Structure formats: structure tokens, C-alpha cells
Amino acid sequence: MKLKGDSSTTRALNRRLILNQIRRNGPMSRSALTAAVGLSPAAVTFVTAELIAEGLLVEGEAQLGAAGRRPIPLEIDYASKLSLGIKVSVDNIRGVITDLSTRIIGEVVLPLADHAPDTVVRVVAAATDHLVAEAGATRDRVIGVGLAVSGQVDAEKGICRQEQRFGWRDVPLAGLLAELLDVPVWVDNDANAYAVSQHLFGHGRGRHSIAAIAVGRGIGAGLVSNSQLHRGASGAAGEFGHSFEQRGRRCECGRDGCLETWCGDIGLLQTWRERDPGSDGKDINDLAAAVAAGDPVAVAIIEDSAQRLGRHVASLVNVFDPEIIVFGGEGVRFGRRLIDPIRKLLGEYCYSGPRPIAIDWEGTGWARGAAALAVQHFFNFEATGGYSPERKDKDHHRAA
Ligand SMILES: [Zn+2]
């Protein structure tokens, strides 16, 4: 059994090498692949033939090359498989079904009546059924479900360690969901999932180290280092929003003065009420509208938030030294009022010079991030992590 395992590991590694090379670079000929991945021409021919037979690779139009040769480019058939991504929020869950490039094919939002794990898992299962049916897909094309939640997650075991907003401690989310679905399930922190998607197909594509910072109701950072997600010793890396900013506001995590209490949606609304009592009862979209209309109090609140955020992001850059910073989440709704001051601060306080900053204006980043969890495992053929009721019996990753 050991030998068989070893040979399938080599096979999996070679497939991973070739698929990822094409994912990063776009269509490539067999000879270009041979040069790039360091396998023999025979091995490349064998692996690519297998991937073509499985429908994962397709041959493109032959290109006229040097000396009259016409190499045939090979491209990933991103439509050949489907991924499901679900972002769990306080009031609802947002689900998407995507192709292997995390391009969205269908979307659904379902309300959450309460935060009992059973309720959340049932609603997520209903969303996946709806998405698969809407896309007219068969289950065998679905590579798995990625579930993104805020809070601390043990991604290896599929357990949410703590999530204060939901009152969760050690909830085996992936296991509960996999009992209802017959596909593999992965669960991760939402900012981590977001960083994975930006690394695979977003602004961080082709980079080795990125800091993806998501600002919305909460504030999180997903860090990719050496092309791997950095989780930390307890899975809590990137809990950026709980950095200490200023005393005077109690955070959902129980501490006093976390960055989130000043710069997250709820913190911004509290500041607005304090400075403009007339704003009582208004929501975050109202604040964005007031900023867009040039309301001086609203504008000052966002500029103040940008100063606070910018200082912390600059510290993060000095510690982590990423190639690029990606900003996403609902916070980008404040546009340049928020981003420009941050950019200026980074120019002043990044020790080794300012970094490229990419803004992800898409509102679908969270759910796409969740879908990227399954896609990442597909491209890496990882044999660990995630949860599936069948995983004890067969290696579903390899079968993918
Ligand atoms: Zn906190």
C-alpha cells in the first residue's frame, strides 16, 4: 500500500505542477511546459494526455512558431468543474457557484433566523442545492464546498474554534455540513479565504507574498507567504481587526479598544452618532451616501478611519514585507476617501518603500473567496484538511 501511495503522490505532484504552471501563465505548449516544470518530455506528454482525457485540459489552436513549427497550446478547461462558495454573515449567507477560475455562474442569498450551528448548516445545504440546480449541474462536476466564516478556524480539522458574534466555540462545521452533502467541505476564516482567491485568480496572481486586507463589519487580513497561506500557530494569524487602537470601546471579542471598534462598520456608525445625533438609526449605506455627497462630518469620519487603518497597515507591511497589498470587503464602498489617505500613510511609513496597492472593487469577493477554498485544494491536490464522509474510504482529491 505504501508503494502505491508513493506513486500516486508523484503522479499528483506532476499533475499539480503542470496545472499550476498553466494556471499562472495561461496557455502553454508541451515543450514550454517541459522547459518550465523540469519534467521529461515523456512525463509531460503522459500527464497532459491524462488531464486531457479527464477534460481538465484542452488543446487550443496551433500557433505558428519559429522554424515553421506549430506548437499546440494547452489550456485549463475552467468550465469542466464547479466549486461552491458560501460566506456566512451575521444576518444571512451568500453563496456562489463558480467555475475553476472562481468566475461566478450563479448566486443566492438566504436569511439566517439564528446562529445555532444546525440552523446555519441547514441553510448552507439548502443554498448549495439551489445553486447546483440553478446551474443545471450534476454533483459529479462539483469539486467541493468552501465555507468562509469570521473568527478563528482550525482549517485542518474543519472546526470553527471561536466566533464571538455567533457565540460559537469548537463547532465542527465541515463535518456537520459534509453529513448533509455528498461532496468534500472545507472551512476557513473569511479573510484567509479572500486572500486565497486573490492569490489564485485576483490581484495577487503570480505573486509569492500578498497581504489581503478586508474591511467591512469586521477587519481581517489574509497573509500569503511563499505562495502559502500563513495561518499561525493556532489559526489566528491575520486577526488584524483586534490590534489595539484606542481605549474607550468594547469589542465583540471582549477587549477594549480594538481597531475594529473604530474602523469596522459598527464603529463608524457609532462615531457618526456621536458627532451627528441626526444620524441615529441610519445604516452603513447611508454613511457611504453621505460621504459621496460630501457631507463634512461623514467625510471627516472616513478620513479619521483611514488614518487609523493606515498606521496599522503600515506596521503590518513593516513586519510582513508583502509584494502587494490588496484591499477588499464592503469598506471599499468609501472609495478614494478611504484609500487615498491610506496610500499616503504607506508612502510615509513603509520602511522599505511604498508597496503596490490593488483595490478589489467587486462586491462578490467574500463568496468567491469561499469558492476558492475548494479550488485551491483542487489545484494543490492536497490530501489533508477539509472533511468528507467518504474520505476514510477513498481519496476524493486524487479522483478530482
Ligand atoms: Zn477585538
For each of the chain's 400 residues, which pLDDT tens digit applies? Answer: 333 345 668 888 899 899 999 998 899 999 999 999 999 999 999 999 999 999 999 999 887 766 667 789 999 999 999 999 999 999 999 999 999 999 999 999 999 999 999 999 999 999 999 999 999 988 889 999 999 999 899 998 999 999 988 999 999 999 999 999 888 999 999 999 999 999 998 999 889 999 999 999 899 999 999 988 999 988 889 899 999 999 999 999 999 999 999 999 999 999 999 999 999 999 999 999 999 999 999 999 999 999 999 999 999 999 999 999 999 998 999 999 999 999 999 999 999 988 899 999 876 788 999 999 999 988 875 544 566 655 443 343 333 3
> What is the distance in A from the centroid of ligand 1 to the CA of 260?
7
Helix (H) / strand (E) element for 78: namely: none
H helix count then E strand count, the chain: 13, 15
At residue 235, the pLDDT reads: 86
Pairwise CA distance, residues 238 & 194, whole Å: 12
CB 171 within 8 A of CB 117: yes
Q: Read off the C-alpha cell for 225.
A: 507567504
CA distances from 140 to 132, 310, 370, 400 (A): 11, 45, 19, 9
What is the side-by-side order of every strand in the sheet holding 82-88? 104-111, 92-98, 82-88, 142-149, 185-189
> What is the distance in A from the centroid of ligand 1 to the CA of 186?
25
Residues bordering ligand 1, an ion, CB closer than 5 Å: 242, 251, 253, 255, 258
> What is the distance in A from the centroid of ligand 1 to the CA of 218?
9
At residue 55, the pLDDT reads: 93
> What is the distance in A from the centroid of ligand 1 to the CA of 250?
8
What the chain holds in terms of domains, given with CATH numbers, is: 2-76 (1.10.10.10), 80-195+365-399 (3.30.420.40), 205-359 (3.30.420.40)
- 106: left (phi > 0), else alpha (psi -120 to 50), else beta? beta
> What is the distance in A from the centroid of ligand 1 to the CA of 263?
12
> What is the distance in A from the centroid of ligand 1 to the CA of 233?
19
> What is the distance in A from the centroid of ligand 1 to the CA of 264?
11
CB 148 within 8 A of CB 129: no
Pairwise CA distance, residues 281 & 269, whole Å: 9
- Residue 69 is classified by DSSP as -
> What is the distance in A from the centroid of ligand 1 to the CA of 312?
14
> What is the distance in A from the centroid of ligand 1 to the CA of 194?
20
At residue 62, the pLDDT reads: 84
> What is the distance in A from the centroid of ligand 1 to the CA of 248?
12
Q: Rounding to the nearest 10 degrees, give the CA dihedral for residues 174, 194, 245, 313.
A: 150
> What is the distance in A from the centroid of ligand 1 to the CA of 270?
16
Q: Give the up-direction half-sphere exposure of residue 319: CA atoms within 13 A in the CB hemisphere.
A: 11
> What is the distance in A from the centroid of ligand 1 to the CA of 148?
19
Q: What is the DSSP string of 98-123?
A: E-TT--EEEEEEEE-S---HHHHHHH
> What is the distance in A from the centroid of ligand 1 to the CA of 370?
23
Beta strands 57-59 and 142-149 are unpaired
> What is the distance in A from the centroid of ligand 1 to the CA of 241?
7
**Dmax over Cα atoms in the chain, in whole Å?**
75
Give the distance, in angstroms, between the CA of residue 232 and the centroid of all CA atoms in the same chain. Answer: 17
> What is the distance in A from the centroid of ligand 1 to the CA of 163?
11
Helix (H) / strand (E) element for 127: namely: helix 117-134
At residue 234, the pLDDT reads: 87
